[in-house]
Amino acid sequence: METQRLLSEPAPGISASPSEENMRYFNVMILGPAQSPYEGGVFKLELFLPEEYPMAAPKVRFLTKIYHPNIDKLGRICLDILKDKWSPALQIRTVLLSIQALLSAPNPDDPLSDNIAKHWKANEAEAVETAKEWTRLYASGA
Amino acid sequence: MFGNYGQRYIVLTEKDINERQEEDIGKVSAVLSIRREEACVLLHHYKWNISKLSDEWFADEEKVRDIVGLLLNGIDLPNSRKLTCGICFEGYSSDVMSSAGCDHFYCHECWEGYISAAISDGPGCLSLRCPDPSCGAMVLQNMINKLAKDDDKVRYARFILRAYVEDSKKTKWCPAPDCTCAVEFVSDGNYDVSCNCKFSFCWNCTEEAHRPVNCETVSRWILKNSAESENMNWILANSKPCPKCKRPIEKNQGCMHMTCTPPCKFEFCWLCLGSWAEHGERTGGFYACNRYESAKKEGVYDETEARRERAKNSLERYMHYYERWASNQTSRQKAQADLQKAEKEQLAKLTDVFGIPETQLKFIIEAWSQIIECRRVLKWTYAYGYYLDDKVKSEFFEYLQGEAESGLERLHQCAEKDLQSFLTVRSDNTEPAPSIAEFGDFRVKLAGLTSVTRNYFENLVQALEAGLEDVHSTAQGTTSSNATNIPSKKAVTKGKTKKQLPRTSSDNSDEGWPCERCTFINPSSVDACSVCDKHRY
């Protein structure tokens, strides 16, 4: 039911399609938001609905390499609604929108990747450059 | 067994707790004119502090309602026949939809799952809010009772009961398995309490009663003893205790910002274990907390490391103490079984054989109770000895411990073996039956040993609790007292003898002489101590 809604009301810059073999597994694409270091990039993610969903949060991970203080090199995301702030009233759509928002507003004060956060705090302009560079290198042309 | 407990603590049964809790809920619901379940969540939020709750309520009811998520007016069901559930997006008729008093309606199936997930997450479910992330409406107990599965309702009610005891700083659960009582600690002083289930424990650290050893030593000792040493090593290497509630926490995510599980919810920094609220630029940034670095430089962490290292190296020494600690534990359990046997069978048998009323056989029960208590004390002196690192004190301590041990052995043997000869008499008639006079002698001996051992152990506990502080001062002023093996220790032992005299002599009104070794007051007619056989001169 939720899947149908997701497909019928797509959010701008986000697409999610269920895998053919496993209806709980989604291939997700998020476009880098405008005015962010990720602009122009296409980021692939995987999203998995655990058995307890929607009572437990979906599991989401970046597959595309990304330079972001709240995302580590394995693609894991530090986002409260994916952990203790999860609510069944949230949906896949809200989760993906939150991730998109995280790309627009990195939060180096609650970091997952120490080195990137350090870089971000010490020299934001330079870190943004690296993020742009990574976007060009890894996220252009899917 | 040590002094009179008086009203230091009150044991509360589950019924008592329930009554107190219901009384509090009833009171609040009457005074604030609110429903029972509303009073319940308010009390839980204010940790059952009624005066604080009513102060804040009457100061600003709206604010309190807002914080706790109590809506003033419930929302009526919208008129539309069919509603869409905000979780599963299926359409339902309004009679199978509910909200927490707000306008976020969910179907009953989703509610059941939502409540169930929250209850399996633990006592945090007592402050469960509406599933809508922007809405703070509290899910009250009547909702739970209407929508949850039966076993979830029971668990929820248990969490409320538990919260009443656990929220209060004055009450704690009895840690004995299957015991449902709690103990309210009323006054200060020593923390040893004894529950209705007969389990004695330390109210402060909830380990079994451990006088004269302090709680810190006990927790170190127990940690060390943990049979699952593999587990222990893993916990030490991979977890840290929450700085607030002390539960071990494993870091399972990347960032250093830790949040303990509800109800604690303390947010702290994994590196320095300081409150997260105090972190920021001042501490060198969130990601490289320099508090840890500076603490490391100061050697705070190295000290812990070094201690661990030392402990590893002293395995043999540890085994020595552990074996003795454990064997006293076993003896104690045996004595508990023997006490039950005496209460259930032996007294009746003795009454039968010697015609003595059971009320006059209490000395046997007293002896066993004393043995159980002494085994407990003696057991813990081994943990004490293990951590005692003053050489002079150690030597003295071992002397006292040795004396205590041999005294207790005499008592234990008398209760175990001597009593047996009066019990086995009927089963084989080959030997002449012991006379009442012989039983009288036995009675004097056992009662005497009980009293002597009690005094000795009371003094031992006091001396150890005081940290053996008189060792260094008295060791210098050795008096030229009677022949003894270790002069420096004699001075102190003599001091003890003097202290005990008035107490023991009050039991025996006729003149006598106190035994040098065990302090028992013997009648002047005998030259050897009737308890320990030491000669008078």
| Mean pLDDT score of chain B | 79
pLDDT in tens, A93-114: 889 999 999 999 998 887 777 7
What class is the B222-293+311-425+433-469 domain?
A: mainly alpha
**Are residues A87 and B132, on separate chains, in Cβ contact within 8 Å?**
yes
pLDDT digits (tens, 9 = 90+) for B137-183: 999 999 999 999 999 999 999 999 999 999 888 899 999 988 999 99
Please answer yes or no on whether B117 and A56 come within 8 Å at the CB atom.
yes
- Contact criterion met (CB < 8 Å) for A111 and B287: yes
Domain range list for chain B? 15-68, 82-158, 222-293+311-425+433-469
Task: Reply yes or no on whether the pLDDT at B362 is more than 50.
Answer: yes
Tell me whether residues A114 and B288 touch, CB distance under 8 A. Answer: yes
Ramachandran assignment for A91, one of left (phi > 0), alpha (psi -120 to 50 degrees), beta (any other):
beta
Best residue in B287, B289, B290, B292 to probe A by mutation, most A CBs within 10 Å?
B287
pLDDT band at B265; cut points 50, 70, 90: confident
The ipTM value here is 0.79
Q: What is the 3-state secondary structure (H, E, C) of B330-380?
A: HHHHHHHHHHHHHHHHHHHHHHHHHCCCHHHHHHHHHHHHHHHHHHHHHHH
Residue of A nearest to B104 (CA): A89
Return the closest-CA partner of residue A108 out of A64, A78, A134: A78
B102 touches A at CB < 8 Å: no
Res A108: pLDDT: 83
pLDDT at B83 over 90: no
What is the DSSP secondary-structure string of B133-186?
TT---B--HHHHHHHS-HHHHHHHHHHHHHHHHHH-SSEEE--STT---EEEE-
B259 touches chain A (CB under 8 A): yes
The Cα of A135 is separated from the nearest Cα of chain B by a number of Å equal to 23
**DSSP three-state, residue B23:** helix
pLDDT of residue B94: 83
Mutate to test the interface with B, among A55, A82, A107 (most CBs of B within 10 A): A55
Return the percentage of chain B with pLDDT > 70, whole number: 75
Identify the pLDDT of residue B17: 94
Q: For residue range A15-32, what is the model confidence (pLDDT) as tens digits?
A: 888 888 888 899 999 999
Architecture of domain A2-138: Roll (3.10)
Q: Which residues of A are catalytic?
A: 78
**B326 close contact with A: CB closer than 8 A:** no
> Is B107 annotated in the active site?
no
pLDDT band with cut points at 50, 70 and 90 for residue B78? low
pLDDT at B480: 37
Give yes or no for residue B502 having a pLDDT over 50.
Answer: no
Average pLDDT of B348-376?
Answer: 89
Q: Which residue of A has its CA nearest to B87?
A: A89
**DSSP three-state, residue A76:** strand
With an 8 Å Cβ cutoff, are B255 and A111 in contact? yes
pLDDT for residue B4 is more than 50: no
pTM greater than 0.90 (yes/no): no
User: How does pLDDT run across B329-353, given as a tens digit for each residue?
Assistant: 888 998 999 999 888 888 888 888 8
Please state which CATH class domain B82-158 belongs to: alpha beta
More confident residue, B526 or A58: A58
